[in-house]
Chain A
Amino acid sequence: MKSFKIYSPASIDEALKLLPHSRGPAAFNAARLVAGGQDLLGEMKDHLVEPEALVNLTGIPGLDTIHCGSSLTLGALVRLVSLERHGELRAGWTAIAEAAESVASPQIRSQATLGGNLCQRPRCWYYRNEHAPCIKKGGHECFAEAGQNKYNAIFGGGPSYIVHPSDLAPALVCLDATVTIAGGRGRRDMLLEDFFTLPNEGSVERENVLKADEAVVGVSVPRLPSPWRSCYLKFRERGSFDFALASVAVALAVEGGAVEGGEIKAAKIVLGGVAPIPWRCTKAENYLVGKPHEPATWRRAAELAVEGAEPLEHNGYKVRLANGLCQKALRHLA
């Protein structure tokens, strides 16, 4: 890694003042926020960024708390291991706990934070190769589009075909999470679903709406009352520790509880690992309302969930995989 200095601000406002006010040609060397560092240090070692300074957020008080009430509030500095081990969180917001425990390895979950997980950069091997000047790094081409694209997007691609690597994002979006962003001009709240941006929205070099001097400070998730239940299923190429080839977060309210054959009152389905953003399957969600909770319904909903997929040369398998995961998740909630 190149040399850098580390600031230790005592408040988020103090931290944000150390960031550049806008992104420009100097972004490669600009100061970066760091907490767990599990993504950023890898980027620095691979020379994808060479910041002159890191702004260490981990000493800022009050950002590492979990509160379960009428809604779940999570500070950006909550470690993934805490999400995974929190009994009340798991009971009320199951998909989030299951997503957290599916991330990487124990060694990473003990340091990685919620904010870092949501803001992590893509894993596309062209992006991660310092010698490939791809469109995510200011180049003109997405090398995955006509290249080795086994791990790339089947939805929402163009002009970049990355997939969003976060497991927490689909689970949180599924449960209608709101994200709180702090910036030089105060705080703003928005649906986490609106936080993530497609490559043809905003900047192709970014995956979210954050401005240069903004930071995620927390997330809040409404409590879904009984009979809602949720789950997160993830398929990895390597069973032990990997990013999702595809994943799905499902939340379902079935009349009389999660009984097979009961009437589905409402449903939420969000796919991960298949698009540059968590991919909400609105058609499938709408279809499920009023249907009996049974295999024929699950099959049709899964077909609708992957309708409109545009696979590249090497990732057609993701269509069938996402379909299968949707059916499995719906069955899991029976």
Chain B
Amino acid sequence: MSEKKLPPASDREMPDRDIGLSKAIGSGASGLSRRAFLKGAGGVAAGGVLAGEAAARLSAAGEGSKATPVVEGETKIEFTLNGTVQQVQVEPRTTLLGLLRSHLPEPLTGAKEVCDRGTCGACTVILDGEVIYACATLALTVAGREVLTVEGLAGEGKLTAVQRAMVAEDGSMCGFCTPGFVMSLSACLERNPGADENEVRRACTGNLCRCGTYDHIFRAAEVAGTELSLEPR
């Protein structure tokens, strides 16, 4: 199988990868690594990881080397999107959903904006192995992390078991909720391919299908789970 595996869930701790930007001291590279952003690199270190435009946005909240890193206005972040490192300009208020749909050179519209309140599940994506609502996630907080969207599931044009089962079992009606369900099912079955219906239903509690095609979705999960259970892992 050439299907891509979901990024590892790394025991729920946020990864602390050096994504290379910290080596770009003094170079023209710009960006904000997650480490710098989240670990609060401090005034001195922040000058090293933030270059160019991003550094210009950094202003001191305190005195000298004790300044708390702050991002104001547009800044460039770097993160891994569907296996490829991406750099993109975002504001602090940009959500991950906004980033995916509106800020990329080639927008990804698989994650849908529906409720925009972390309720319907149409924007579900996978961040470091865990499902999240892209609408309820600030884009800056994915710096240095791995985001997987529905567009990143199929490797080399070959659909995943979940995607194939959703087609075969007629798991879509209008289709608007489908990418979100596919992401929730993918994360659930990656964690436990033998998940029973109860576990699958629990995994889908954060996704709404207004057409009501739940039975077909759960049947697709069963079919995909059976296939994945038989597959050497």
Contacts and interface: CB of A to CB of B under 8 A. Distances in A.
Interface of A: 1-11, 14, 17-18, 37-38, 41-42, 45, 53-54, 56, 58-61, 64, 79, 81-82, 85, 104-108, 110-111, 240-241
A116 B202 CA distance: 23
Given A64-B13, A107-B206, A8 B38 contact: yes
A328 to B, nearest CB: 19
A282 to B, nearest CB: 34
Interface in B161-187: 184, 187
A333 B137 CA distance: 39
A79 B39 CA distance: 17
B141 interface: yes
Interface residues of B, number: 47
Given A4-B93, A41-B136, A107-B206, A79 B12 contact: yes
B42 to A, nearest CB: 6
A187 B170 CA distance: 57
Contacts of B204: 240
B206 A104 contact: yes
Mostly helix, strand, loop or mixed at chain A's interface?
loop
A45 B118 CA distance: 11
A42 B12 contact: no
Nearest to B126: A110
Nearest to B35: A59
Contacts of A64: 13
A18 B66 CA distance: 13
A18 B136 contact: no
B71 A38 contact: no
B38 A18 contact: no
A108 B92 contact: no
Interface in B46-102: 61-62, 66, 68-73, 91-93, 95
B211 interface: no
B206 A59 contact: no
B13 A58 contact: no
Contacts of A5: 70-73, 92
Residue among A11, A17, A45, A85 with the most chain B CB within 10 A? A45
A58 B12 contact: no
Contacts of A41: 95, 118, 136, 138
A107 B118 CA distance: 8
Contacts of B133: 107-108
A7 B70 contact: yes
Contacts of A11: 40
Interface string B198-211: 00011111110000
Given A3-B93, A14-B40, A108 B206 contact: yes
